Each structure stands twice: as C-alpha cells, then as structure tokens.
C-alpha cells in the first residue's frame, strides 16, 4: 500500500493498483449486531456476492438489498434492489461504492471465508440428512461385506500377478 499522504499520489496509486490490491478497495463495515452475533473482531470485510447490505450514503440512502455483483476494477457493487431504466425502458443495475454500504447479513456458504473470519458455521440439517442417518445402520453391513469383497479381489489380483512373474522367471 502507499505511504504518501499527497492526494495526487493517492489517486495515482488507486488508478494503477493491481487487482490483488484492488480487493482491499471493496471492503465494507459490518453491522454491530452481526459482528457480535458471529463474534468477528474485524470492523470491515470484503463484500461478496450474496451478502445483504444497507446503503449509508448517497441518493439511495437506507436501501437494503442483496449483492448481485462486485466490480473490483471500479470498487463498486450492484444490488438487486437498485435498478435504473434506460431510455428504451430496459432495467439495469445501478452501482454503489463499497465504502457507502455496511453489511447486515453475510453469505457464509463459502467455508474458506468462514475460516478466514474464524466463524463457526452450523451445518444445516435437512430431512434428507436425517433420513441418511437413520438408514446408515442398516447399510453398514452391506458396506462391510462390499469392503471384504474388494479386499479379496485385490488379494486375488496380487496372487495372480505373483504367479505370472514366477512363471516368467
């Protein structure tokens, strides 16, 4: 990162920054209640697709929506609730600077993101998972017998390979 305090050098740095440094330009503050709920120590994290954010500044102040796209080149984000119509009547997304929003709900489906933030994500239990757990003991015997068959088959293959090698010599 740049150490200069001169505005000209700051603008030059942001304009010419490589993409791996531009990721830091797309960070936003986290809502206090979310931060305490998830026990996150950081004040801001990077905005990702799927996060729910609320706009703090600008003409759309107070609008809440889900992030549909993050543009790292410009440092702007697009929300599903923010749209604009062009002259032909077609709707398209309106962008907001990542610094003008704060995150009210995070998408923690990415395990790497949850691990990076040191957040424990409880796995969602569905009816299918419960049914698999109930069916598991009855299938346990089938799995063991199948494993035994595979072990016997590999023994046979090793034995026949050993026989072929001894026949050649």
Residue recorded with tokens 């590999």: 154
In-domain check, residue 26: yes
In-domain check, residue 40: yes
Residue 41 shares a structural domain with residue 100: yes
Contact of 21 with 67, CB cutoff 8 Å: no
Question: How many domains does the structure of the chain reveal?
Answer: 2
CA distance 93 to 60: 13
Residue 97 shares a structural domain with residue 161: no
What's the DSSP call for residue 121? Answer: P
Residue 74 shares a structural domain with residue 146: no
In-domain check, residue 90: yes
Residue 94 shares a structural domain with residue 55: yes
Residue 37 shares a structural domain with residue 98: yes
Residue 103 shares a structural domain with residue 131: no
Of 116, 141, 159, which residue constitutes the final position of a domain?
116
What is the pTM assigned to this prediction? 0.64
For the stretch 113-152, pLDDT in tens is 888 888 776 666 565 666 666 665 555 555 567 667 777 7
Contact of 82 with 96, CB cutoff 8 Å: yes
Residue 16 shares a structural domain with residue 77: yes
pLDDT tens by residue, the chain, 169 residues? 678 889 999 999 989 999 888 888 889 999 999 988 888 888 889 999 999 999 999 888 999 999 999 999 988 999 999 999 999 999 998 999 999 999 999 988 888 888 888 877 666 656 566 666 666 555 555 556 766 777 776 666 666 555 555 555 4
Distances (CA, A) of 147 to 37, 89, 106, 108: 45, 63, 42, 37
What is the domain range of residue 67? 7-116
Could you tell me the two tokens for 153?
């088959």
Residue 58: left if φ>0, alpha if ψ -120 to 50, beta else—which one?
Answer: left
């Amino acid at each position: 990162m740049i150490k200069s305090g001169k505005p000209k050098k700051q603008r030059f740095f942001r304009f010419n920054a490589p993409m791996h440094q531009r990721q830091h330009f797309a960070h936003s503050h986290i809502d206090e209640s979310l931060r305490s709920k998830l026990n996150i120590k950081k004040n801001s994290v990077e905005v990702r697709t799927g996060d729910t954010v609320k706009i703090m500044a600008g003409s759309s102040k107070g609008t809440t929506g889900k992030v549909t796209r993050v543009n790292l080149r410009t440092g702007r984000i697009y929300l599903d609730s923010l749209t604009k119509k062009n002259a032909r009547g077609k709707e398209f997304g309106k962008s907001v600077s990542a610094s003008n929003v704060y995150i009210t709900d995070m998408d923690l489906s990415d395990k790497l993101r949850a691990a990076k933030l040191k957040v424990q994500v409880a796995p969602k239990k569905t009816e299918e998972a419960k049914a698999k757990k109930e069916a598991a003991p009855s299938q346990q015997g089938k799995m063991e017998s199948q494993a035994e068959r595979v072990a016997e088959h590999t023994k046979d293959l090793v034995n026949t390979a050993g026989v072929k090698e001894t026949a050649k010599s």
